[in-house]
Amino acid sequence: MHNKKSKKSFSDNRLFRFIFPVFLLMIAALFLSHLPFLKADPDTMVSLNTRGAWTDEGLYTAQLRDYINHGHLKLYNNNGFIVTPGFQLLLLPFFYLFGTDIVVGRLFTLLFTIAVLMLFARDRSLRLPALFYLMLAGFQYHYFQFCHYSMGEMSAINMLLLSLFSLVKFEESGRAGKKHIWLFLAAFFSFLSWAIKIQFAYVVVLVPASLLLKALIGGLGTSVSRKQVFGYFGISVLFTFGLAFLYLLVWYLPHREFFNYILNYETADRFKKTIPDLIGVYRFNFRHLIWVKELWPVIILALLLLIAAILSFVSKKNRKGVSLAMLFAVLWLAVEQHKIAMVYLPTRYFLSLIAAAGMVAAFAATNLFHERKLLIAWILPLIASVFVWNTIQVYNSWQRRTFDIKAVKEYLEKSDIQKDQPVLGIWAYTLASGSEAPTLGIRYNYLNDKNPIQAYKPRLVISEFNQAESDSAWARQGIDLTALSDSVKRFKVWRYDLDFYWIRQK
C-alpha cells in the first residue's frame, strides 16, 4: 500500500514539474500575442451593440488624467469615480510615474492579469487548474481583447481570482491564525472587486456562500468540523459586512446625492418588470451575444465538465472532498446568470461570466484528473481543441486590427490645442487623451449639458455627425456648432463619422 502511494506521489511530482515550464511558455505566448494590440483600436467585432472600449477606455480614466495633468480632481463632471473608483486608484501611481497615455493603462491591465495567473501557477495545488484556465479563458476571444484594454472589468475579475486563491489557502492552512488571515484576504479581495467597479457588488455573497455550502456538505477534511466551518462562515459575513460598511462610510455617504444620481441613470430600465419579459430578454441575449462561435465552445466544455464532476462527486461515499475553490467557481457562474437578462448587455458585462465558466471547467477537469484518470484521455483533447479554436479567433482579430484612434491622436498632436483648453464630447475622453487637455463628456439631461460652450469655453468639440452619442444635447439647446467654429473636420473612426468643431476663440 505504501509502495503504491509512493509511486503515485512520485508520478504526480513529475507531472507538476512538467506543467510549470509548459505554463510559463504559454504565459510568454500570451504576453507576446497582446503586444501588437497595445496601440491598435479596440477590436471592431467585440462590441457590436455599443461603443464599448472605443469611448470608455478614455472615459473611466479622464478624471484621473485631469488630476495628474492639472492638479484638480472634479468628481462631479464624470461618472468614472462613482462607477470605477478602485480602478482609478490602482492606476494612479502608474499614470503618475509613466504618463497618462491609455497604453499605460493597457499594460497595467495586461501585466496584472498575467501576475495573477502566475500566482496561481506557483501554487502546487492550483498549477493544473491555472493551466486549464489559461487555455480556456485566457485566450478566449472576448476575454483576450479586454486583457489589453484600460478598463476596470479585468482588474475586478483579477481581484475575484485573488479572492478564490485566498480561499484555497484558507482551506489548505492548518493553523487557526493563518486561516483567519486568509479568510480576511478572501473577503478583502472580493470587496476590492466591487470597489474597482460597483457593478460587481453582487460578488459579496461568494465567499460567505461558499463557506455556508461547504458547511452544509461537510467539514474541511478531518481537521475542521462542520460546526467550525459554520463558525468561519459567520466570521466571513462579519468581514464582508465590515468592509461594505467602510465603503459606505468613506465613499458612499460623502457623495450620496451624486452617487444615487449616477446609479439611477445607469441602472434605469436595465431589467424588464415581468418574468415572461425577463425570460424573453435572456433568450435573446443568450442566442445572439453568448451563444456565438467565439464563446460557445468554452460554455459547452464548462457545462460538460461540471456535469461529469457532479456525477463523480455523487458516486463517492465520502462527499467531503469537494473543494471551496470548486464551490466558489460554481456559485460565481450561477450569480453571473442575472446579467444575461439585462436589456443592455455590452461585452464587458459578461466577461466575468466567461471567467467563471473558465474556472468551473478548470477545477472540474482537475478534480476529474485526480479522481477519474481514465477520463483524462477524453478531457485533454477537448481542452486542447478549445484552446486551438480560441487562438484562431485571436489570430482573426489580429488580422483585422485598425488604427483610427492613433490617426486622430496624431492629428491633434499637430494642432494648436493648449493644455488648459477643454475638449468636449463623449469621444473626447479617448481621442484627446494624449493631448493632456481636460476632457468632458456631454450627454443631454445627464452630465455637463447645460450651456456647455459658455460654461467650459472649449477649444474643440467632438461629436458624431448626428449627435447620437450626446442624445442631441447640442441641437436640443439650439447650439449651432458649425456657426461657432473656425473650421470643421470629419474623421471616420470605426463605424462612426465624427465631426471636429474648432470653436472660435474670442
Check pLDDT > 70 for residue 321: no
What average pLDDT does the segment 37-52 reach? 92
State the average pLDDT for the chain.
91
Q: How far apart are CA 205 and CA 237, in angstroms?
A: 9
Contact between residue 366 and residue 342 where contact means Cβ atoms under 8 Å apart: no
Check pLDDT > 80 for residue 85: yes
Cell 475542521 belongs to 224
Q: How many CB atoms lie within 10 A of CB 492?
A: 11
Taking only the tens place, the pLDDT of each residue in 346-364 is 999 999 999 999 999 999 9
Cell 458547511 belongs to 215
Strand partners, 500: 462, 489
The pTM is what?
0.94
Give DSSP secondary structure letters for 130-162: HHHHIIIIITSHHHHHHTTSSSHHHHHHHHHHH
Give DSSP secondary structure letters for 413-441: HTS---TTS-EESTTHHHHTTTS---EE-
| Confidence class for position 411, pLDDT limits 50, 70, 90 | very high
What average pLDDT does the segment 354-382 reach? 86
Amino acid at 121: A
Rounded to a whole number of angstroms, the CA Rg of the chain reads: 25
Q: How far apart are CA 238 and CA 322, in angstroms?
A: 25
Spell out the residues 6+ positions from residue 465 whose beta carbon is closer than 8 angstroms to its own: 490, 497, 498, 499
| Confidence class for position 98, pLDDT limits 50, 70, 90 | very high
Listed as own residue / partner, the contacts of 309-317 with beta carbons closer than 8 Å and 24 or more positions apart are: 309/363, 309/364, 309/367, 309/368, 312/367, 312/368, 312/371, 312/372, 316/371
Contact between residue 421 and residue 402 where contact means Cβ atoms under 8 Å apart: no
Please state the separation of Cα 415 from the chain's center in Å: 35
Check pLDDT > 60 for residue 452: yes
Taking only the tens place, the pLDDT of each residue in 174-202 is 787 899 999 999 999 999 999 999 999 99
Taking only the tens place, the pLDDT of each residue in 272-295 is 989 999 999 999 999 999 999 999
CA triple 423-89-448, angle to 5 deg: 30
Taking only the tens place, the pLDDT of each residue in 240-278 is 999 999 999 999 999 999 999 999 998 888 899 899 999
Q: Residue 55: exposed, middle, or buried by beta-carbon count in 10 A (0-12, 13-18, 19+)?
A: buried
Rama region for 457: left / alpha / beta (φ>0; ψ in -120 to 50; rest): left
| Length of the chain counted residue by residue | 506
Q: How many CB atoms lie within 10 A of CB 94?
A: 15
pLDDT, position 17: 73
Q: How far apart are CA 166 and CA 239, in angstroms?
A: 14
Taking only the tens place, the pLDDT of each residue in 291-317 is 999 999 999 999 999 998 888 877 765
